[in-house]
């Protein structure tokens, strides 16, 4: 018996050895290829249907827009498919001249027909990013010019045009895939599947393969009309990898870039990698519902004195410390790098005495009030919503509020927030387009987030007036002043309390150059080169 047992043990040990031998050495990014790891926020590589961060990053490499931004900048548009552009004095008509050299990856020349098709398709598909085309009409002026017109002054149009959703597609290829730009494109367009198999753009890369949960592979566009970047990678593999594994992979060298590390995780990554630190475009904020009719608590939260109590009771320094490396207090809802952003000196300073006085005047007393937030471990830029909510809860309890944490999975909590069914909430905002109007148009009374906070049109005519004035002002300096003023007034009179603008951290292998964080497409893949 002993002999048999020993034989069995030897067999088991041998199997283990074979197993370990098979595993071999770790895989590395083969040849001239780059592995970029991120937690996928991806639905497709169809520009008209994709509006998530990973999708933006990939589509920016596949599809060029009329104009774009360089590096990490999001303020100065530079030529892309359009070599030049003009607009009228009240910013209602923008004319773009298509670069005569511009060609799609199959060698077809980019024409005004392609631009009109792409933008109308985006508009009529009624998908996630379609609202970017709200109020915009596009028409061809000959074969090499297009004109985008709007009903009202839209100085932010150039910023909107840079969005990867407005990527220009080869209309012939997309139509052959079943694509349509007709008014009924939401039912007539059948190109989605096809566009997961091949791309139809003029970007520096073409799509090689697409998998929604694992990886998207891009090959260098060897016919790129702007001249092939010899230092660029031949292949880029964007992989869906959990954050903690991203960290190990980038340190080990099996990936080139880790896109989602938190400041804490980026510390101590060692000398083999570079940590690229920027400011995230996401701003975390807290709000108190201004809808007095929703619950017993919102009768009070809608009272400006309650908002004042919360605004001055929150310990912002503690939140910034929690957010870690590179984070700053958000002095306003507009991130630090956009026009008219407030300075740190304008930020609200914690004032416990003022908070307690306002709390007494508010009258909420012992009425319990809940905080809604993304509660199943949801985190962005390394900041966990649950932890942030706990910090806010602790501060507000010290002021006197009877706060209850009411986090829920995103599929449950997000609709409650969007439908104004929260007493208070802790959320973030990332820009749909890189311009401060995205904030004035989203947070003023009666706008998107305004309504979510129960702050309806007519609630504050002064702020609405500033919003409307900023929307039609073309002069950049005057616009910036209006944005600044709008935010200062928001800090005095709105139910919104900006909390923190975290750092955006990218960790890259030292052999990878040109890595910069961008507010819209996160990483500018076509600009990355090998050392």
Nearer to other proteins, 239 or 311 (CB): 239
For other proteins, which stretch binds (CB under 8 A), given 74-82, 286-294, 406-414, 487-495?
406-414
Would you count residue 530 as binding other proteins (CB under 8 A)? no
Quote the least distance from Cβ 19 to other proteins, whole Å. 6
Nearer to other proteins, 1 or 353 (CB): 1
Q: How far apart are CA 500 and CA 332, in angstroms?
A: 9
Work out the angle at residue 392's Cα, subtended by the Cα atoms of residues 390 and 397, and round it to the nearest 5 degrees.
95
Taking CB under 8 A as the rule, which mask of x and - marks residues 328-357 in contact with other proteins? ------------------------------
Buried b or exposed e, range 45-71, using 16+ CB within 10 angstroms: bbbbbbbbbbbbbbbbbbbbbbbbbee
For the CA atoms of 281, 286, 292, 294, the dihedral, rounded to the nearest 10 degrees, stands at: 90
Binding test (CB under 8 A) with other proteins, winner from 248, 296, 361, 457: 248
Long-range pairs of 179-187 with CB within 8 A, sequence gap ≥ 24 = 179/121, 180/121, 180/124, 181/116, 181/117, 181/118, 181/120, 181/121, 181/124, 182/124, 183/124, 184/124, 185/120, 185/121, 185/124, 185/125, 185/126, 186/124, 186/125, 186/126, 186/127
Nearer to other proteins, 127 or 335 (CB): 127
Would you count residue 405 as binding other proteins (CB under 8 A)? no
* Cβ neighbours of residue 404 closer than 8 Å, sequence gap 6 or more: 368, 369, 370, 371
Q: How would DSSP label each residue in 302-313?
A: TSHHHHHHHHHH
The helix/strand/coil state of 448 is helix
Would you count residue 448 as binding other proteins (CB under 8 A)? yes
For other proteins, which stretch binds (CB under 8 A), given 43-51, 360-368, 383-391, 492-500?
43-51
In the block, which residue shows the tokens 């839209």?
154
Residue 9, CA atoms < 13 Å, CB-side half-sphere: 6
Nearer to other proteins, 3 or 345 (CB): 3
Q: Are 198 and 218 in contact (CB under 8 A)?
A: no
Binding test (CB under 8 A) with other proteins, winner from 86, 88, 143, 211: 211
In the block, which residue shows the tokens 């509020």?
401
Quote the least distance from Cβ 62 to other proteins, whole Å. 16
Q: What is the DSSP letter of 135?
A: T
Would you count residue 180 as binding other proteins (CB under 8 A)? no
Nearer to other proteins, 141 or 248 (CB): 248
For other proteins, which stretch binds (CB under 8 A), given 19-27, 223-231, 258-266, 475-483?
19-27
Would you count residue 33 as binding other proteins (CB under 8 A)? yes
- What residues are paired with 79 via a beta bridge? 67
Quote the least distance from Cβ 414 to other proteins, whole Å. 5
Long-range pairs of 462-470 with CB within 8 A, sequence gap ≥ 24 = 462/489, 462/493, 463/489, 463/490, 463/493, 463/494, 466/440, 467/440, 467/441, 470/436, 470/437, 470/440
Binding test (CB under 8 A) with other proteins, winner from 140, 325, 414, 472: 414
Quote the least distance from Cβ 519 to other proteins, whole Å. 15
Site for other proteins in 113-152 (CB under 8 A): 126-132, 134
Q: Smallest Cα–Cα separation from 173: which of 234, 113, 238?
A: 113
- Say how many C-beta atoms besides its own lie within 10 A of residue 458's C-beta: 9
Work out the angle at residue 302's Cα, subtended by the Cα atoms of residues 299 and 308, and round it to the nearest 5 degrees.
125
Binding test (CB under 8 A) with other proteins, winner from 152, 197, 223, 252: 252
Would you count residue 35 as binding other proteins (CB under 8 A)? yes
The C-alpha R_g of the chain, in whole angstroms, comes to 26
For the CA atoms of 82, 83, 87, 93, the dihedral, rounded to the nearest 10 degrees, stands at: -20
Binding test (CB under 8 A) with other proteins, winner from 71, 135, 142, 242: 242
Nearer to other proteins, 20 or 271 (CB): 20
Would you count residue 410 as binding other proteins (CB under 8 A)? yes
Would you count residue 14 as binding other proteins (CB under 8 A)? no
Would you count residue 89 as binding other proteins (CB under 8 A)? no
For other proteins, which stretch binds (CB under 8 A), given 49-57, 60-68, 267-275, 277-285?
49-57
Binding test (CB under 8 A) with other proteins, winner from 140, 217, 379, 474: 217
Which two tokens mark 155?
A: 């100085």
Nearer to other proteins, 111 or 413 (CB): 413
Would you count residue 213 as binding other proteins (CB under 8 A)? yes
Quote the least distance from Cβ 366 to other proteins, whole Å. 27
Nearer to other proteins, 86 or 244 (CB): 244
Binding test (CB under 8 A) with other proteins, winner from 145, 418, 488, 516: 418
List interacting residues with other proteins (CB under 8 A): 1, 4-5, 8-9, 12, 19-20, 22-27, 29-30, 33, 35, 43-44, 49, 51-52, 126-132, 134, 186-187, 192-193, 208, 211-215, 217, 235, 237, 239-242, 244-245, 248-249, 251-252, 254-255, 409-412, 414-416, 418-419, 432, 448
């Amino acid at each position: 018996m002993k002999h048999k047992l020993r034989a069995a043990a030897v067999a088991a040990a041998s199997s283990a050895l074979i197993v370990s031998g098979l595993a071999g050495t770790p895989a590395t990014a083969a040849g001239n290829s780059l592995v970029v790891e991120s937690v996928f926020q991806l639905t497709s590589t169809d520009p008209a249907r994709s509006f998530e961060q990973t999708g933006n990053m990939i589509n920016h490499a596949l599809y060029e827009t009329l104009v774009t931004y360089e590096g990490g900048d999001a303020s100065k548009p530079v030529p892309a498919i359009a070599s030049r552009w003009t607009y009228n004095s009240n910013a209602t008509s923008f004319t773009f001249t298509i670069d005569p050299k511009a060609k799609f990856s199959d060698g077809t020349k980019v024409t005004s027909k392609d631009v009109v098709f792409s933008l109308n398709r985006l508009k009529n598909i009624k998908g996630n990013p379609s609202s970017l085309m709200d109020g915009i009409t596009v028409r061809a002026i000959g074969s090499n010019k297009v004109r985008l017109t709007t009903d009202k002054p839209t100085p932010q149009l150039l910023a909107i045009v840079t969005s990867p959703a407005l990527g220009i597609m080869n209309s012939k290829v997309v139509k052959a895939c079943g694509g349509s730009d007709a008014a009924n494109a939401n039912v007539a367009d059948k190109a989605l599947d096809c566009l997961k198999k091949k791309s139809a753009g003029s970007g520096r890369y073409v799509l090689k393969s697409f998998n929604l949960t694992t990886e998207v592979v891009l090959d260098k566009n060897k016919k790129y009309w702007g001249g092939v970047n010899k230092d660029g990678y031949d292949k880029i593999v964007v992989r869906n990898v959990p954050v903690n594994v991203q960290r190990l992979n980038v340190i080990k060298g099996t990936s080139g870039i880790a896109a989602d590390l938190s400041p804490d995780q980026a510390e101590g990554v060692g000398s083999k990698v570079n940590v690229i630190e920027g400011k995230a475009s996401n701003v975390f904020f807290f709000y108190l519902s201004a809808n007095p009719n929703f619950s017993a608590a919102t009768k009070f939260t809608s009272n400006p004195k309650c908002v004042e109590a919360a605004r001055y009771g929150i310990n912002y320094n503690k939140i910034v410390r929690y957010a870690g490396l590179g984070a700053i207090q958000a002095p306003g809802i507009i991130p630090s790098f956009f026009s008219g952003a407030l300075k740190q000196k304008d930020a609200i300073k914690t004032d416990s005495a003022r908070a307690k006085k306002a709390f007494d005047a508010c009258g909420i007393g012992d009425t319990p009030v809940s905080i809604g937030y993304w509660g199943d471990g949801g985190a962005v830029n390394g900041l966990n919503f649950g932890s942030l909510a706990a910090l806010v809860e602790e501060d507000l309890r010290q002021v006197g509020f009877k706060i209850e944490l009411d986090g829920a999975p995103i599929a449950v909590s997000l609709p409650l927030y969007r439908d104004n069914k929260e007493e208070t909430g802790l959320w973030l905002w990332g820009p749909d387009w890189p311009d401060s109007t995205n904030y004035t148009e989203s947070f003023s009374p009666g706008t998107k987030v305004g309504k979510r906070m129960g702050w309806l049109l007519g609630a504050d005519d002064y702020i609405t007036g500033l919003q409307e004035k900023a929307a039609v002002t073309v002069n950049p300096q005057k616009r910036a002043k209006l944005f600044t003023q709008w935010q200062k007034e928001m800090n005095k009179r709105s139910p919104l309390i900006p909390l923190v603008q975290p750092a955006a951290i990218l960790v890259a292998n030292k052999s990878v150059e040109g890595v910069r964080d961008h507010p819209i497409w996160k990483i500018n893949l076509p600009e990355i080169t090998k050392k």
